[in-house]
Amino acid sequence: PCLSNFTAPMGTVLSPDYPEGYGNNLNCIWTIISDPGSRIHLSFNDFDLESQFDFLAVKDGDSPDSPILGTFTGAEVPSHLTSNSHILRLEFQADHSMSGRGFNITYN
C-alpha cells in the first residue's frame, strides 16, 4: 500500500492502516495521473500525523525533484490543493516512533 499509481478519474488516497495509525519507519510514494492537459484537485478529509517528525509532501509532477505544492505535518487539516500539471506525487515519511491516525485524501 506504500507505492501506488492512481489512474482513475477520482479516488481516495489513505495512509497505511488508516484510521488505525500508520506505523513507523515508512517511506511511501503515491502518484496520481490524470489525462494530459487536466489538473488534479486534492481534498483533505482527515489528517493526523506526528507533528514535526512525520510529513506528507505534495509535489507537482512525478519526479522527486518536482516543485513542492505543500508539506504537511501535525493534526491541522490542510486546505484544498490543485495541481498545475496532470500528475501529482505524494511522498509520506514516518519516523521510528509514535504515529497518528494518518490521512484520508480524495482527488478528482
**pTM here?**
0.95
**Which residues share a beta bridge with 6?**
32
* C-alpha–C-alpha distance, residues 22 and 19, integer Å: 8
Residues in the chain, how many? Answer: 108
Query: What pLDDT, on a 0 to 100 scale, did the predictor assign at position 57?
Result: 98
Sequence-distant (6+) residues with CB within 8 A of 62 are 31, 33, 87, 89
Domain edges within the chain: 3-107
Fold for domain 3-107?
A: Jelly Rolls (2.60.120)
Per-residue pLDDT tens digits of the chain, which is 108 residues long: 689 999 999 999 999 999 999 999 999 999 999 999 999 999 999 999 999 999 999 999 999 999 999 999 999 999 999 999 999 999 999 999 999 999 999 999
- In which element (H, E) is residue 26 found? strand 26-33
User: In this structure, what DSSP letter does residue 15 have?
Assistant: -
